[in-house]
A = this chain, B = another copy of it.
Amino acid sequence: MRHEIAPRSGAGFELKAGETLTVYDPRGEQVADLLAYNLADPAEVISSGRTLDYASRIYLTTGDPLYSNRSKVMLEILDDTVGRHDFLLTPCSKDTFRIIYGDTDPHRGCFGNLAAALAPWGIHPDAIPTAFNCFMNVAVDGATGAISVDPPRSRAGDRIAFVAKMDLIIGLTACSALQSNNGSFKPIEYEITL
A58 to B89, CA, bound (A): 10
A137 to chain B, nearest CB (A): 12
Q: Is the CB of A58 within 8 A of B147?
A: yes
A141: interface (CB < 8 Å)? yes
A96 to B54, CA, bound (A): 7
Q: Copies per complex?
A: 2
Which of B55, B95, B124, B130 touches A43 (beta carbons < 8 Å)?
Answer: B124
Q: Which of A45-53, A154-162, A185-193 contacts B (4 or more CB under 8 A)?
A: A45-53
- Residues 96-109 of chain A, each 1 if its beta carbon lies under 8 Å from chain B, else 0: 10011000000000
A59 to B88, CA, bound (A): 13
Interface residues of A (CB under 8 A from B): 43-45, 47-50, 52-59, 69-71, 88-90, 93, 95-96, 99-100, 124, 126, 128-130, 139-142, 144-148
Q: Is the CB of B141 within 8 A of A52?
A: no
Q: Is the CB of B140 within 8 A of A48?
A: no
A53 to B99, CA, bound (A): 10
Which of B48, B59, B70, B126 touches A145 (beta carbons < 8 Å)?
Answer: B59
Q: Is the CB of B100 within 8 A of A54?
A: yes
Residue on B with the closest CB to A57? B145
